[in-house]
Chain A
Amino acid sequence: MAILGTFAFEEDFLTAAKNLTSSGFDRISLMSPIPVEEAQEIVGLHKSRVRHFSLAGAIIGCIGGFAMAVGTALVFILPTGGRAIITIPPFLIITYEMTILFGVLFTLLGFHFVSGLPAWKDRPYVISASVDRFVVVVEGTTGEQAAKAEAIIRDAGAEEIQHVEDSQ
Protein backbone atom coordinates (compact mmCIF):
# COMPACT_ATOMS: atom_id res chain seq x y z
CA MET A 1 0.00 0.00 0.00
CA ALA A 2 1.25 3.54 -0.73
CA ILE A 3 0.69 6.73 1.22
CA LEU A 4 0.21 9.81 -0.93
CA GLY A 5 0.40 13.31 0.59
CA THR A 6 -0.40 16.54 -1.25
CA PHE A 7 1.24 19.83 -0.23
CA ALA A 8 0.45 23.37 -1.26
CA PHE A 9 3.80 24.82 -0.23
CA GLU A 10 7.29 23.85 -1.28
CA GLU A 11 8.95 24.02 2.16
CA ASP A 12 6.37 21.66 3.74
CA PHE A 13 6.96 19.25 0.89
CA LEU A 14 10.72 19.35 1.43
CA THR A 15 10.36 18.96 5.20
CA ALA A 16 8.23 15.87 4.72
CA ALA A 17 10.70 14.47 2.21
CA LYS A 18 13.70 15.03 4.51
CA ASN A 19 11.94 13.50 7.52
CA LEU A 20 10.86 10.47 5.53
CA THR A 21 14.34 9.75 4.20
CA SER A 22 15.94 10.25 7.59
CA SER A 23 13.37 7.85 9.11
CA GLY A 24 14.56 5.16 6.75
CA PHE A 25 11.84 5.04 4.11
CA ASP A 26 13.45 4.40 0.75
CA ARG A 27 10.69 3.87 -1.78
CA ILE A 28 9.77 7.54 -2.00
CA SER A 29 8.65 9.52 -5.06
CA LEU A 30 8.61 13.33 -4.93
CA MET A 31 6.36 14.81 -7.60
CA SER A 32 6.15 18.48 -8.51
CA PRO A 33 4.84 20.65 -11.38
CA ILE A 34 8.26 22.27 -11.79
CA PRO A 35 11.73 20.86 -11.12
CA VAL A 36 12.79 21.36 -7.49
CA GLU A 37 16.51 21.01 -7.02
CA GLU A 38 16.47 20.30 -3.28
CA ALA A 39 14.04 17.45 -3.86
CA GLN A 40 16.47 15.91 -6.34
CA GLU A 41 19.28 16.19 -3.81
CA ILE A 42 17.16 14.63 -1.05
CA VAL A 43 16.53 11.60 -3.23
CA GLY A 44 20.26 11.36 -3.84
CA LEU A 45 20.57 12.42 -7.47
CA HIS A 46 23.68 14.35 -8.35
CA LYS A 47 25.27 13.83 -11.74
CA SER A 48 22.97 12.05 -14.12
CA ARG A 49 23.96 8.86 -15.91
CA VAL A 50 22.60 10.38 -19.12
CA ARG A 51 25.97 11.96 -19.70
CA HIS A 52 27.57 8.56 -20.25
CA PHE A 53 25.07 7.85 -22.99
CA SER A 54 25.77 11.20 -24.64
CA LEU A 55 29.50 10.62 -24.63
CA ALA A 56 29.13 7.08 -25.95
CA GLY A 57 26.87 8.32 -28.73
CA ALA A 58 29.23 11.10 -29.72
CA ILE A 59 32.20 8.73 -29.89
CA ILE A 60 30.28 6.14 -31.87
CA GLY A 61 29.05 8.84 -34.23
CA CYS A 62 32.53 10.26 -34.70
CA ILE A 63 34.18 6.96 -35.52
CA GLY A 64 31.19 5.66 -37.45
CA GLY A 65 30.82 8.81 -39.51
CA PHE A 66 34.43 8.86 -40.62
CA ALA A 67 34.36 5.12 -41.28
CA MET A 68 31.24 5.48 -43.40
CA ALA A 69 32.72 8.29 -45.45
CA VAL A 70 36.03 6.50 -46.02
CA GLY A 71 34.46 3.08 -46.49
CA THR A 72 31.92 4.16 -49.09
CA ALA A 73 34.60 6.06 -51.00
CA LEU A 74 36.69 2.90 -51.25
CA VAL A 75 33.92 0.49 -52.26
CA PHE A 76 33.79 1.80 -55.82
CA ILE A 77 36.63 4.16 -56.62
CA LEU A 78 35.41 7.14 -58.62
CA PRO A 79 37.93 9.97 -58.74
CA THR A 80 36.36 13.40 -58.95
CA GLY A 81 37.76 16.84 -59.58
CA GLY A 82 41.42 15.99 -59.29
CA ARG A 83 40.97 15.33 -55.58
CA ALA A 84 42.19 12.35 -53.60
CA ILE A 85 39.86 9.44 -52.87
CA ILE A 86 40.14 9.91 -49.11
CA THR A 87 39.91 13.67 -48.64
CA ILE A 88 40.12 14.98 -45.10
CA PRO A 89 38.18 18.30 -45.02
CA PRO A 90 34.92 16.97 -46.54
CA PHE A 91 35.08 13.80 -44.48
CA LEU A 92 35.64 15.83 -41.32
CA ILE A 93 32.41 17.67 -41.97
CA ILE A 94 30.55 14.38 -42.37
CA THR A 95 32.16 13.12 -39.17
CA TYR A 96 31.08 16.27 -37.33
CA GLU A 97 27.46 15.87 -38.35
CA MET A 98 27.41 12.18 -37.47
CA THR A 99 28.93 12.91 -34.07
CA ILE A 100 26.08 15.26 -33.29
CA LEU A 101 23.42 12.97 -34.76
CA PHE A 102 24.46 9.96 -32.73
CA GLY A 103 25.11 12.08 -29.66
CA VAL A 104 21.52 13.29 -29.79
CA LEU A 105 20.06 9.84 -30.48
CA PHE A 106 22.01 8.21 -27.68
CA THR A 107 21.05 11.01 -25.28
CA LEU A 108 17.42 10.26 -26.12
CA LEU A 109 18.04 6.59 -25.41
CA GLY A 110 19.78 7.54 -22.19
CA PHE A 111 16.83 9.61 -21.10
CA HIS A 112 14.52 6.65 -21.53
CA PHE A 113 16.79 4.24 -19.72
CA VAL A 114 17.62 6.48 -16.79
CA SER A 115 14.20 7.98 -16.15
CA GLY A 116 12.29 4.74 -16.52
CA LEU A 117 9.91 6.24 -19.03
CA PRO A 118 7.72 5.18 -20.83
CA ALA A 119 5.96 3.72 -17.83
CA TRP A 120 4.20 0.51 -18.79
CA LYS A 121 2.41 -0.02 -15.51
CA ASP A 122 0.21 2.16 -13.31
CA ARG A 123 1.86 4.12 -10.53
CA PRO A 124 0.51 6.34 -7.77
CA TYR A 125 -0.44 9.80 -9.02
CA VAL A 126 -2.82 12.72 -8.53
CA ILE A 127 -3.51 15.15 -11.33
CA SER A 128 -2.86 18.20 -9.19
CA ALA A 129 0.83 17.25 -9.35
CA SER A 130 0.95 18.73 -12.83
CA VAL A 131 -0.85 21.92 -11.80
CA ASP A 132 0.20 23.48 -8.51
CA ARG A 133 0.64 20.82 -5.84
CA PHE A 134 3.71 19.03 -4.54
CA VAL A 135 3.09 15.33 -3.88
CA VAL A 136 5.01 12.86 -1.72
CA VAL A 137 4.41 9.13 -2.20
CA VAL A 138 5.74 6.45 0.13
CA GLU A 139 5.37 2.95 -1.28
CA GLY A 140 5.65 -0.57 0.02
CA THR A 141 4.57 0.23 3.59
CA THR A 142 2.23 -1.81 5.76
CA GLY A 143 0.66 -1.41 9.15
CA GLU A 144 2.96 0.29 11.61
CA GLN A 145 5.31 1.66 8.97
CA ALA A 146 2.38 3.12 7.07
CA ALA A 147 1.07 4.86 10.15
CA LYS A 148 4.51 6.29 10.87
CA ALA A 149 4.87 7.60 7.33
CA GLU A 150 1.39 9.07 7.46
CA ALA A 151 2.20 10.82 10.72
CA ILE A 152 5.36 12.38 9.27
CA ILE A 153 3.47 13.60 6.25
CA ARG A 154 0.61 15.04 8.33
CA ASP A 155 3.03 16.80 10.68
CA ALA A 156 4.76 18.51 7.76
CA GLY A 157 1.46 20.15 6.83
CA ALA A 158 -0.14 18.03 4.12
CA GLU A 159 -3.33 19.31 2.59
CA GLU A 160 -4.66 15.87 1.77
CA ILE A 161 -3.59 12.31 2.42
CA GLN A 162 -4.64 9.30 0.33
CA HIS A 163 -4.08 5.56 0.54
CA VAL A 164 -3.43 4.18 -2.92
CA GLU A 165 -2.13 1.04 -4.56
CA ASP A 166 1.56 0.45 -4.97
CA SER A 167 3.10 0.56 -8.45
CA GLN A 168 2.74 -2.79 -10.15
Chain B
Amino acid sequence: MFDHGQPTYAEVNKDIISTMLETGPKYWILLGSTMSLAGIFFFMPWIYQLFVGVGAAGMNRNAVWGTYLSNFIFWIGLSHSGTLLSAVLHITNSPWRKSIYRSAEAMTLFSLITAALFVMVHVGRVWFVHWSFPIPNQMGLWPNFRSPLMFDVMAITTYLTASSIFIYMGSVPDFAAVRDASTGVRRRLYAVFSFGWRGTAREWHTLGWAYTFFAVFVIPLAVSVHSIVSWDFALSAVPGFHHTIFAPYFVTGAIYSGTAGIVTVMYCLRKFLNFERYIGQVHLDSLGKLLIALSLIWSYINVLELFTTWYGGSSFELEALSFRMTGFYAPLYWEMILFCAFVPLLMLTRKIRWSWNKMLVISILINIGMLTERFIIVATSQPRKFLPDAFGFYVPSWIEISITIGSFGIFMTLFLIFIKWVPSISIYEVKETLKPLRRDA
Protein backbone atom coordinates (compact mmCIF):
# COMPACT_ATOMS: atom_id res chain seq x y z
CA MET B 1 0.00 0.00 0.00
CA PHE B 2 2.68 2.51 0.86
CA ASP B 3 5.28 2.84 -1.85
CA HIS B 4 7.94 4.59 0.20
CA GLY B 5 7.69 2.87 3.56
CA GLN B 6 5.08 3.28 6.24
CA PRO B 7 4.78 6.69 7.85
CA THR B 8 4.29 7.08 11.59
CA TYR B 9 1.01 8.39 12.99
CA ALA B 10 2.55 11.78 13.67
CA GLU B 11 3.89 11.96 10.14
CA VAL B 12 0.42 11.22 8.74
CA ASN B 13 -1.03 14.11 10.73
CA LYS B 14 1.79 16.42 9.70
CA ASP B 15 1.78 15.49 6.01
CA ILE B 16 -1.92 15.90 5.55
CA ILE B 17 -2.57 18.89 7.81
CA SER B 18 0.40 20.80 6.43
CA THR B 19 -1.28 20.83 3.00
CA MET B 20 -4.07 22.80 4.66
CA LEU B 21 -2.02 25.14 6.83
CA GLU B 22 0.76 26.05 4.40
CA THR B 23 -0.22 27.75 1.18
CA GLY B 24 2.15 28.88 -1.51
CA PRO B 25 1.67 31.35 -4.37
CA LYS B 26 1.04 28.52 -6.85
CA TYR B 27 -2.22 27.75 -5.06
CA TRP B 28 -3.45 31.33 -5.21
CA ILE B 29 -2.61 31.62 -8.89
CA LEU B 30 -4.43 28.38 -9.60
CA LEU B 31 -7.45 29.42 -7.54
CA GLY B 32 -7.53 32.80 -9.25
CA SER B 33 -7.48 31.22 -12.69
CA THR B 34 -10.23 28.70 -11.95
CA MET B 35 -12.39 31.43 -10.46
CA SER B 36 -11.85 33.58 -13.54
CA LEU B 37 -12.63 30.59 -15.73
CA ALA B 38 -15.87 30.08 -13.84
CA GLY B 39 -16.76 33.75 -13.76
CA ILE B 40 -15.97 34.65 -17.34
CA PHE B 41 -16.98 31.45 -19.08
CA PHE B 42 -19.95 30.38 -16.98
CA PHE B 43 -21.53 33.21 -15.06
CA MET B 44 -21.22 36.04 -17.53
CA PRO B 45 -22.77 34.14 -20.45
CA TRP B 46 -25.45 32.84 -18.09
CA ILE B 47 -26.36 36.34 -16.92
CA TYR B 48 -26.52 37.44 -20.55
CA GLN B 49 -28.83 34.53 -21.24
CA LEU B 50 -31.03 35.45 -18.26
CA PHE B 51 -31.67 38.84 -19.80
CA VAL B 52 -31.98 37.80 -23.41
CA GLY B 53 -33.67 34.39 -23.12
CA VAL B 54 -32.66 30.78 -23.66
CA GLY B 55 -32.54 31.55 -27.36
CA ALA B 56 -28.95 32.68 -26.83
CA ALA B 57 -28.11 28.97 -26.89
CA GLY B 58 -28.32 26.98 -30.11
CA MET B 59 -31.40 24.88 -29.33
CA ASN B 60 -34.33 24.98 -31.72
CA ARG B 61 -37.72 23.42 -32.25
CA ASN B 62 -36.16 20.10 -33.24
CA ALA B 63 -33.83 19.81 -30.28
CA VAL B 64 -35.25 21.73 -27.35
CA TRP B 65 -32.85 19.95 -25.06
CA GLY B 66 -29.22 20.62 -25.74
CA THR B 67 -25.84 20.77 -24.08
CA TYR B 68 -27.21 22.21 -20.84
CA LEU B 69 -29.04 19.00 -20.16
CA SER B 70 -26.29 16.73 -21.48
CA ASN B 71 -23.81 18.53 -19.22
CA PHE B 72 -26.22 18.14 -16.33
CA ILE B 73 -26.24 14.38 -16.88
CA PHE B 74 -22.47 14.31 -17.27
CA TRP B 75 -21.93 16.04 -13.92
CA ILE B 76 -24.45 13.86 -12.12
CA GLY B 77 -22.63 10.91 -13.64
CA LEU B 78 -19.30 12.15 -12.39
CA SER B 79 -20.80 12.36 -8.92
CA HIS B 80 -21.32 8.61 -8.68
CA SER B 81 -17.62 7.99 -8.21
CA GLY B 82 -17.46 9.10 -4.62
CA THR B 83 -20.49 7.17 -3.57
CA LEU B 84 -19.21 3.97 -5.11
CA LEU B 85 -15.75 4.28 -3.61
CA SER B 86 -16.81 5.57 -0.26
CA ALA B 87 -19.96 3.68 0.48
CA VAL B 88 -19.74 0.44 -1.46
CA LEU B 89 -16.11 -0.22 -0.64
CA HIS B 90 -16.75 0.67 2.99
CA ILE B 91 -19.35 -2.07 3.20
CA THR B 92 -16.94 -4.53 1.58
CA ASN B 93 -14.11 -3.44 3.90
CA SER B 94 -11.73 -2.72 1.10
CA PRO B 95 -8.36 -1.39 2.35
CA TRP B 96 -7.19 0.54 -0.68
CA ARG B 97 -10.12 2.92 -0.51
CA LYS B 98 -8.89 4.51 2.72
CA SER B 99 -6.69 7.23 1.36
CA ILE B 100 -8.73 8.25 -1.68
CA TYR B 101 -12.34 8.18 -0.56
CA ARG B 102 -12.42 11.64 1.02
CA SER B 103 -11.48 13.40 -2.22
CA ALA B 104 -13.84 11.13 -4.14
CA GLU B 105 -16.70 12.14 -1.85
CA ALA B 106 -15.76 15.77 -2.34
CA MET B 107 -15.91 15.20 -6.09
CA THR B 108 -19.41 13.82 -5.63
CA LEU B 109 -20.61 16.86 -3.75
CA PHE B 110 -19.10 19.40 -6.13
CA SER B 111 -20.28 17.58 -9.25
CA LEU B 112 -23.79 17.62 -7.81
CA ILE B 113 -23.59 21.35 -7.16
CA THR B 114 -22.38 21.97 -10.71
CA ALA B 115 -25.16 19.75 -12.07
CA ALA B 116 -27.76 21.67 -10.08
CA LEU B 117 -26.41 24.90 -11.59
CA PHE B 118 -26.94 23.43 -15.04
CA VAL B 119 -30.60 22.83 -14.30
CA MET B 120 -30.94 26.51 -13.60
CA VAL B 121 -29.16 27.48 -16.81
CA HIS B 122 -31.36 25.11 -18.82
CA VAL B 123 -34.77 26.16 -17.56
CA GLY B 124 -36.64 28.92 -19.41
CA ARG B 125 -37.88 30.88 -16.41
CA VAL B 126 -35.41 30.29 -13.59
CA TRP B 127 -37.09 32.75 -11.29
CA PHE B 128 -39.97 30.30 -10.92
CA VAL B 129 -37.90 27.15 -10.56
CA HIS B 130 -38.90 26.96 -6.89
CA TRP B 131 -42.35 25.93 -8.08
CA SER B 132 -40.95 22.48 -8.71
CA PHE B 133 -40.44 22.01 -4.96
CA PRO B 134 -43.32 20.99 -2.71
CA ILE B 135 -43.30 24.23 -0.74
CA PRO B 136 -46.64 25.41 0.68
CA ASN B 137 -47.67 28.59 -1.16
CA GLN B 138 -50.49 31.07 -1.41
CA MET B 139 -51.72 29.57 -4.69
CA GLY B 140 -52.40 26.18 -3.14
CA LEU B 141 -50.54 24.60 -6.05
CA TRP B 142 -48.21 21.66 -5.74
CA PRO B 143 -45.79 20.12 -8.21
CA ASN B 144 -46.75 17.19 -10.39
CA PHE B 145 -45.28 14.14 -8.67
CA ARG B 146 -46.21 11.98 -11.65
CA SER B 147 -43.60 13.77 -13.73
CA PRO B 148 -40.14 12.19 -14.26
CA LEU B 149 -38.63 15.59 -13.62
CA MET B 150 -40.15 15.61 -10.16
CA PHE B 151 -38.54 12.26 -9.41
CA ASP B 152 -35.36 14.04 -10.46
CA VAL B 153 -35.95 16.96 -8.11
CA MET B 154 -36.59 14.65 -5.17
CA ALA B 155 -33.69 12.37 -6.00
CA ILE B 156 -31.12 15.10 -6.45
CA THR B 157 -32.21 16.96 -3.34
CA THR B 158 -31.89 13.75 -1.36
CA TYR B 159 -28.54 12.93 -2.94
CA LEU B 160 -27.13 16.40 -2.24
CA THR B 161 -28.29 16.27 1.37
CA ALA B 162 -27.06 12.73 1.91
CA SER B 163 -23.67 13.36 0.27
CA SER B 164 -22.98 16.51 2.27
CA ILE B 165 -23.92 14.81 5.52
CA PHE B 166 -21.88 11.77 4.57
CA ILE B 167 -18.71 13.70 3.84
CA TYR B 168 -19.13 16.01 6.82
CA MET B 169 -19.68 13.23 9.32
CA GLY B 170 -16.74 11.26 8.03
CA SER B 171 -14.51 14.31 8.44
CA VAL B 172 -15.40 15.17 12.04
CA PRO B 173 -12.42 13.32 13.62
CA ASP B 174 -10.12 14.94 11.06
CA PHE B 175 -11.47 18.38 11.89
CA ALA B 176 -10.51 17.61 15.49
CA ALA B 177 -6.98 16.76 14.33
CA VAL B 178 -6.75 20.07 12.45
CA ARG B 179 -8.10 21.90 15.48
CA ASP B 180 -5.36 20.39 17.62
CA ALA B 181 -2.67 21.35 15.12
CA SER B 182 -3.67 24.99 14.70
CA THR B 183 -3.91 28.16 16.73
CA GLY B 184 -6.01 31.30 16.95
CA VAL B 185 -9.06 31.81 14.78
CA ARG B 186 -8.50 28.62 12.85
CA ARG B 187 -8.43 26.64 16.09
CA ARG B 188 -11.73 28.06 17.24
CA LEU B 189 -13.28 27.52 13.81
CA TYR B 190 -12.30 23.88 13.69
CA ALA B 191 -13.39 23.42 17.28
CA VAL B 192 -16.85 24.39 16.04
CA PHE B 193 -16.60 22.18 12.93
CA SER B 194 -15.50 19.16 14.95
CA PHE B 195 -18.30 19.58 17.53
CA GLY B 196 -15.74 19.21 20.30
CA TRP B 197 -14.73 15.71 19.23
CA ARG B 198 -12.33 14.02 21.63
CA GLY B 199 -12.08 10.56 20.14
CA THR B 200 -13.66 8.74 23.07
CA ALA B 201 -14.81 5.17 22.68
CA ARG B 202 -18.45 6.30 22.76
CA GLU B 203 -17.85 8.85 20.01
CA TRP B 204 -16.01 6.38 17.75
CA HIS B 205 -18.68 3.76 18.35
CA THR B 206 -21.51 6.10 17.45
CA LEU B 207 -19.68 7.46 14.43
CA GLY B 208 -18.92 3.98 13.17
CA TRP B 209 -22.55 2.93 13.35
CA ALA B 210 -23.89 6.19 11.92
CA TYR B 211 -21.36 6.06 9.08
CA THR B 212 -22.30 2.51 8.19
CA PHE B 213 -25.97 3.48 8.13
CA PHE B 214 -25.19 6.44 5.91
CA ALA B 215 -23.32 4.14 3.55
CA VAL B 216 -26.22 1.67 3.49
CA PHE B 217 -28.66 4.47 2.67
CA VAL B 218 -26.45 6.18 0.11
CA ILE B 219 -25.74 3.15 -2.09
CA PRO B 220 -29.35 2.49 -3.23
CA LEU B 221 -29.76 6.24 -3.44
CA ALA B 222 -26.91 6.62 -5.91
CA VAL B 223 -28.27 3.82 -8.08
CA SER B 224 -31.71 5.37 -8.00
CA VAL B 225 -30.57 8.92 -8.77
CA HIS B 226 -29.04 8.12 -12.10
CA SER B 227 -31.80 5.70 -12.98
CA ILE B 228 -34.26 8.50 -12.34
CA VAL B 229 -32.24 10.89 -14.49
CA SER B 230 -32.30 8.29 -17.25
CA TRP B 231 -36.07 8.04 -16.92
CA ASP B 232 -36.39 11.70 -17.90
CA PHE B 233 -35.60 10.25 -21.31
CA ALA B 234 -36.85 6.70 -21.14
CA LEU B 235 -40.38 7.69 -20.10
CA SER B 236 -40.91 9.57 -23.35
CA ALA B 237 -42.02 7.93 -26.59
CA VAL B 238 -39.09 9.30 -28.58
CA PRO B 239 -37.21 6.61 -30.53
CA GLY B 240 -33.68 6.50 -29.21
CA PHE B 241 -34.87 7.45 -25.71
CA HIS B 242 -37.61 4.94 -25.06
CA HIS B 243 -35.46 1.96 -24.06
CA THR B 244 -35.69 0.00 -20.84
CA ILE B 245 -31.90 -0.42 -20.87
CA PHE B 246 -31.53 3.28 -20.11
CA ALA B 247 -31.43 2.93 -16.34
CA PRO B 248 -28.55 0.40 -16.24
CA TYR B 249 -26.91 2.21 -19.14
CA PHE B 250 -26.83 5.52 -17.34
CA VAL B 251 -25.81 4.10 -13.98
CA THR B 252 -22.95 2.16 -15.55
CA GLY B 253 -21.90 5.19 -17.55
CA ALA B 254 -21.99 7.30 -14.40
CA ILE B 255 -19.82 4.99 -12.35
CA TYR B 256 -17.49 4.65 -15.33
CA SER B 257 -17.07 8.37 -15.86
CA GLY B 258 -16.83 8.98 -12.12
CA THR B 259 -14.08 6.45 -11.64
CA ALA B 260 -12.13 7.97 -14.53
CA GLY B 261 -12.62 11.32 -12.81
CA ILE B 262 -11.13 9.92 -9.62
CA VAL B 263 -8.00 8.87 -11.49
CA THR B 264 -7.60 12.40 -12.83
CA VAL B 265 -8.14 13.96 -9.41
CA MET B 266 -5.74 11.52 -7.74
CA TYR B 267 -3.04 12.39 -10.23
CA CYS B 268 -3.46 16.10 -9.46
CA LEU B 269 -3.51 15.53 -5.69
CA ARG B 270 -0.35 13.49 -5.85
CA LYS B 271 1.42 16.06 -7.91
CA PHE B 272 0.32 19.25 -6.21
CA LEU B 273 0.01 18.19 -2.60
CA ASN B 274 2.94 15.74 -2.55
CA PHE B 275 0.81 12.79 -1.57
CA GLU B 276 3.02 10.23 -3.34
CA ARG B 277 3.36 8.37 -0.09
CA TYR B 278 -0.37 7.87 0.41
CA ILE B 279 -1.65 7.37 -3.10
CA GLY B 280 0.37 4.67 -4.77
CA GLN B 281 0.49 1.85 -7.26
CA VAL B 282 -2.13 -0.25 -5.54
CA HIS B 283 -4.71 2.53 -5.90
CA LEU B 284 -3.91 3.08 -9.55
CA ASP B 285 -3.98 -0.63 -10.22
CA SER B 286 -7.34 -1.15 -8.47
CA LEU B 287 -8.93 1.83 -10.18
CA GLY B 288 -7.56 0.63 -13.50
CA LYS B 289 -9.11 -2.80 -13.09
CA LEU B 290 -12.41 -1.21 -12.10
CA LEU B 291 -12.28 0.96 -15.21
CA ILE B 292 -11.68 -2.03 -17.45
CA ALA B 293 -14.66 -3.86 -15.97
CA LEU B 294 -16.91 -0.82 -16.36
CA SER B 295 -15.68 -0.18 -19.89
CA LEU B 296 -16.60 -3.72 -20.88
CA ILE B 297 -20.05 -3.45 -19.35
CA TRP B 298 -20.57 -0.10 -21.07
CA SER B 299 -19.53 -1.54 -24.43
CA TYR B 300 -21.84 -4.48 -23.90
CA ILE B 301 -24.79 -2.21 -23.24
CA ASN B 302 -24.05 -0.21 -26.36
CA VAL B 303 -23.97 -3.38 -28.42
CA LEU B 304 -27.26 -4.37 -26.77
CA GLU B 305 -28.85 -1.14 -27.92
CA LEU B 306 -27.73 -1.80 -31.47
CA PHE B 307 -28.99 -5.33 -31.33
CA THR B 308 -32.41 -4.57 -29.88
CA THR B 309 -32.94 -1.75 -32.36
CA TRP B 310 -32.04 -3.96 -35.29
CA TYR B 311 -34.01 -6.92 -33.96
CA GLY B 312 -37.11 -4.81 -33.20
CA GLY B 313 -37.16 -3.45 -36.72
CA SER B 314 -39.14 -0.32 -35.89
CA SER B 315 -38.52 2.14 -38.70
CA PHE B 316 -38.41 5.07 -36.30
CA GLU B 317 -35.77 3.44 -34.13
CA LEU B 318 -33.69 2.37 -37.11
CA GLU B 319 -33.80 5.90 -38.47
CA ALA B 320 -32.70 7.36 -35.16
CA LEU B 321 -29.86 4.86 -34.94
CA SER B 322 -28.59 5.40 -38.46
CA PHE B 323 -28.76 9.15 -37.96
CA ARG B 324 -26.49 8.66 -34.99
CA MET B 325 -24.03 6.29 -36.61
CA THR B 326 -23.85 7.54 -40.17
CA GLY B 327 -25.53 10.92 -40.21
CA PHE B 328 -24.60 14.44 -39.24
CA TYR B 329 -23.19 13.41 -35.87
CA ALA B 330 -21.27 10.33 -37.05
CA PRO B 331 -17.79 11.73 -36.20
CA LEU B 332 -18.88 12.38 -32.61
CA TYR B 333 -20.43 8.93 -32.31
CA TRP B 334 -17.31 7.14 -33.47
CA GLU B 335 -15.10 9.33 -31.31
CA MET B 336 -17.19 8.28 -28.34
CA ILE B 337 -16.85 4.58 -29.25
CA LEU B 338 -13.11 4.97 -29.69
CA PHE B 339 -12.54 6.75 -26.36
CA CYS B 340 -14.91 4.75 -24.22
CA ALA B 341 -14.79 1.25 -25.68
CA PHE B 342 -11.37 0.82 -27.28
CA VAL B 343 -8.90 3.13 -25.55
CA PRO B 344 -9.62 1.69 -22.06
CA LEU B 345 -8.65 -1.77 -23.32
CA LEU B 346 -5.07 -0.51 -23.25
CA MET B 347 -5.30 -0.77 -19.49
CA LEU B 348 -5.30 -4.53 -19.75
CA THR B 349 -1.50 -4.37 -19.87
CA ARG B 350 0.12 -3.82 -16.52
CA LYS B 351 2.69 -1.48 -17.98
CA ILE B 352 0.01 1.06 -18.85
CA ARG B 353 -2.07 0.46 -15.78
CA TRP B 354 0.85 1.21 -13.48
CA SER B 355 1.96 4.37 -15.21
CA TRP B 356 0.48 7.56 -13.73
CA ASN B 357 0.96 9.67 -16.84
CA LYS B 358 -0.63 7.18 -19.20
CA MET B 359 -3.54 6.60 -16.86
CA LEU B 360 -4.10 10.35 -16.64
CA VAL B 361 -4.37 10.57 -20.41
CA ILE B 362 -6.68 7.57 -20.62
CA SER B 363 -8.94 8.88 -17.84
CA ILE B 364 -9.27 12.27 -19.53
CA LEU B 365 -10.05 10.61 -22.86
CA ILE B 366 -12.70 8.46 -21.18
CA ASN B 367 -14.37 11.52 -19.73
CA ILE B 368 -14.29 13.35 -23.05
CA GLY B 369 -15.90 10.27 -24.57
CA MET B 370 -18.54 10.20 -21.85
CA LEU B 371 -19.32 13.90 -22.29
CA THR B 372 -19.78 13.19 -25.99
CA GLU B 373 -21.95 10.21 -25.17
CA ARG B 374 -24.34 12.35 -23.11
CA PHE B 375 -24.48 14.86 -25.95
CA ILE B 376 -25.13 12.14 -28.51
CA ILE B 377 -27.97 10.71 -26.45
CA VAL B 378 -29.64 14.08 -25.91
CA ALA B 379 -29.00 15.80 -29.22
CA THR B 380 -29.27 13.06 -31.82
CA SER B 381 -32.50 11.40 -30.81
CA GLN B 382 -34.64 14.52 -30.76
CA PRO B 383 -34.17 15.64 -34.39
CA ARG B 384 -35.34 12.22 -35.59
CA LYS B 385 -38.63 11.67 -33.85
CA PHE B 386 -41.58 10.50 -35.92
CA LEU B 387 -42.73 12.95 -38.58
CA PRO B 388 -40.10 13.26 -41.34
CA ASP B 389 -41.12 16.80 -42.19
CA ALA B 390 -40.16 17.82 -38.69
CA PHE B 391 -36.63 16.42 -38.82
CA GLY B 392 -33.77 18.82 -38.31
CA PHE B 393 -30.50 19.07 -36.48
CA TYR B 394 -28.84 21.06 -33.74
CA VAL B 395 -25.45 22.70 -33.30
CA PRO B 396 -24.38 24.13 -29.94
CA SER B 397 -23.74 27.85 -29.89
CA TRP B 398 -20.71 29.68 -28.53
CA ILE B 399 -22.50 30.42 -25.29
CA GLU B 400 -23.12 26.74 -24.67
CA ILE B 401 -19.52 25.78 -25.31
CA SER B 402 -18.36 28.58 -23.05
CA ILE B 403 -20.69 27.48 -20.28
CA THR B 404 -19.47 23.89 -20.61
CA ILE B 405 -15.88 25.05 -20.17
CA GLY B 406 -16.89 27.34 -17.32
CA SER B 407 -18.51 24.48 -15.45
CA PHE B 408 -15.13 22.78 -15.13
CA GLY B 409 -13.91 26.06 -13.66
CA ILE B 410 -16.65 25.94 -11.04
CA PHE B 411 -15.84 22.35 -10.13
CA MET B 412 -12.11 23.06 -9.85
CA THR B 413 -12.69 26.17 -7.76
CA LEU B 414 -14.86 24.25 -5.30
CA PHE B 415 -12.30 21.47 -5.16
CA LEU B 416 -9.41 23.87 -4.58
CA ILE B 417 -11.32 25.48 -1.72
CA PHE B 418 -12.03 22.01 -0.36
CA ILE B 419 -8.37 20.94 -0.17
CA LYS B 420 -7.58 23.88 2.05
CA TRP B 421 -10.52 23.52 4.38
CA VAL B 422 -10.97 19.77 4.76
CA PRO B 423 -8.18 17.18 4.97
CA SER B 424 -8.24 15.75 1.47
CA ILE B 425 -7.02 12.37 2.72
CA SER B 426 -8.77 10.84 5.68
CA ILE B 427 -6.27 10.96 8.52
CA TYR B 428 -7.79 8.40 10.83
CA GLU B 429 -8.59 5.87 8.13
CA VAL B 430 -5.03 5.98 6.80
CA LYS B 431 -3.79 5.40 10.34
CA GLU B 432 -6.03 2.35 10.54
CA THR B 433 -4.09 0.81 7.65
CA LEU B 434 -0.72 1.37 9.31
CA LYS B 435 0.98 -1.02 11.68
CA PRO B 436 -0.89 -0.92 14.99
CA LEU B 437 0.82 0.88 17.85
CA ARG B 438 1.71 -2.23 19.81
CA ARG B 439 4.91 -3.10 21.59
CA ASP B 440 5.39 -6.25 19.56
CA ALA B 441 4.45 -4.81 16.17
Contact = CB atoms under 8 A, between A and B. Distances in A.
A100 B221 contact: yes
Contacts of B203: 115-117
Nearest to B144: A80
Interface in A86-113: 87, 90-91, 93-94, 96-98, 100-101, 103-105, 107-108, 110-112
B180 A108 contact: no
Question: Chain A contact residues: over half helix, strand or loop, or mixed?
Answer: helix
Interface in B197-233: 197-210, 213-214, 217-218, 220-221, 224, 228
A162 B144 CA distance: 63
Nearest to A29: B200
B146 A90 contact: yes
Given A90-B145, A131-B180, A132-B10, A107 B217 contact: yes
Given A11-B438, A107-B213, A127-B180, A101 B157 contact: yes
B209 A100 contact: no
A8 B214 CA distance: 33
A119 B201 CA distance: 15
A119 B140 contact: no
B220 A31 contact: no
Contacts of B198: 29, 31, 119, 123, 125, 129
Interface in A61-105: 68-69, 72-73, 75-76, 78, 80-81, 83, 87, 90-91, 93-94, 96-98, 100-101, 103-105
A130 B181 CA distance: 9
Contacts of A120: 196
A43 interface: yes
B151 interface: yes
How large, as a class, is the contact surface on chain B? 35 or more
Interface in B329-351: none
B3 interface: no
20 contacts: A9-B438, A29-B198, A29-B202, A50-B213, A51-B209, A90-B146, A91-B145, A93-B224, A97-B158, A98-B154, A101-B154, A104-B214, A104-B218, A107-B214, A117-B195, A117-B197, A130-B199, A131-B177, A132-B13, A134-B437
Given A72-B142, A76-B140, A125-B198, 14 more contacts: A31-B199, A32-B201, A40-B202, A42-B201, A45-B201, A48-B208, A50-B206, A75-B140, A94-B150, A104-B158, A104-B218, A115-B207, A129-B198, A131-B9
Interface of A: 8-12, 29-36, 39-40, 42-43, 45, 48, 50-51, 54, 68-69, 72-73, 75-76, 78, 80-81, 83, 87, 90-91, 93-94, 96-98, 100-101, 103-105, 107-108, 110-112, 114-120, 123, 125, 127, 129-132, 134
